[in-house]
Structure 1
Amino acid sequence: MSSVAKYLGADLLLALYIQPKASRDQVMGLHGAEIKLAITAPPVDGKANAHVRKLLAKLFQVSQSQVSLHKGELSRHKQVLIKAPFVIPAEFSEFVQKKESES
């Protein structure tokens, strides 16, 4: 399993590098040991964090309450936990391997 994305039971933990105030929302690829995510929201008053949660919830087809900020509230370097993701979007498929069955 890649260090940028790992399963914790049924949940998925993503290591992200956030680029705020981008022209559009998109997954940019790897940035060191993190997935670079460009977002349109500014890094002001928690708007970027809320936008990241909303975007990931939409991409992984889960509710926003299933997406939580694990680490990095005031940093561009974030760890986001997605509880029981329904699908792995194409943009993340190269970083997230299918969950191996555990005993």
Structure 2
Amino acid sequence: MLPLKETRHGITFPVQVVPRASKCEITGLVNGLIKIRLTAPPVGGKANEECLRFLSKRLDIPGNRLSIVSGRTSRRKVIQVSRMGLDELAGLLKKIIPKTPMPDLFENGGKDEEP
């Protein structure tokens, strides 16, 4: 389930940023956070700028509609998207977040073993 929250200023969602990665990519939904790998270092706001630019490009929305409302100096951030409906943003995010496969928790595929 996507962690979206509607506020009076727009729709927010939490992300976890991994700076200094080999490439920019969204790796999935982990513990309620959209995990984003960025090539920029976390210095002088470069990772924040790259995060917003990357999301703007992937979501195909103007950059001036995206902002960081919490976590500017943290890896965990809250991104806000203005002038967009909840369902519309949910649809866009679902398209760009890769499906995270569930690990097989049982060696036998979850089937009861016969005695």
Match of 1:16 in 2: 15
**What corresponds to 1:52 in structure 2?**
51
Deviations 1:34-78, CA, capped at 9 Å, x for gaps: 111111111010000000110111112221111100100000000
Looking at structure 1, the residues matched to 6 and 28 of structure 2 have their Cα atoms a distance apart, in angstroms, of: 19
> Does the 8 Å CA contact 2:9/2:82 hold for their aligned counterparts?
yes
The 1:20–1:93 alpha-carbon spacing in structure 2 relative to 1, beyond 3 Å, is closer
Aligned residue for 1:27, secondary structure, equals strand
2:63 maps to: 64
Which residue does 1:75 correspond to in 2?
74
Q: Distance in 2 between matches of 1:22 and 1:5?
A: 26
TM-score normalised by length of structure 2 = 0.69
Please give the secondary structure, in 2, of the residue aligned with 1:84: coil
Q: Compare the two structures and name the one with the higher strand fraction.
A: 1
Q: CA deviation at 1:12?
A: 2.5
Structure 2: 5+ residue runs without aligned partners?
A: 100-115
Distance 1:92 1:12, change over 3 A: farther
Structure having the higher Rg: 2
Q: Which moved more, 1:48-57 or 1:9-18?
A: 9-18
Shift in Å, 1:13: 1.1
Confirm or deny: 8 A CA contact 2:18 2:37 kept in the other structure. yes
Tell me the percent identity. Answer: 27
Residues 23-42 of structure 1 aligned to structure 2 (within 5 Å): 23-42=22-41
Q: Separation in 2 of the partners of 1:29 and 1:75? A: 19
Residue 93 to residue 31, structure 1, CA distance change in 2 (3 Å): closer
* TM-score, normalising length: structure 1: 0.76
In the TM superposition, what is the alpha-carbon distance from 1:10 to its structure 2 partner? 8.5
Q: Choose the corresponding residue for 1:91, options 86, 92, 96.
A: 96
Runs of 4+ residues deviating >4 angstroms: none
The match for 2:4 is: 5
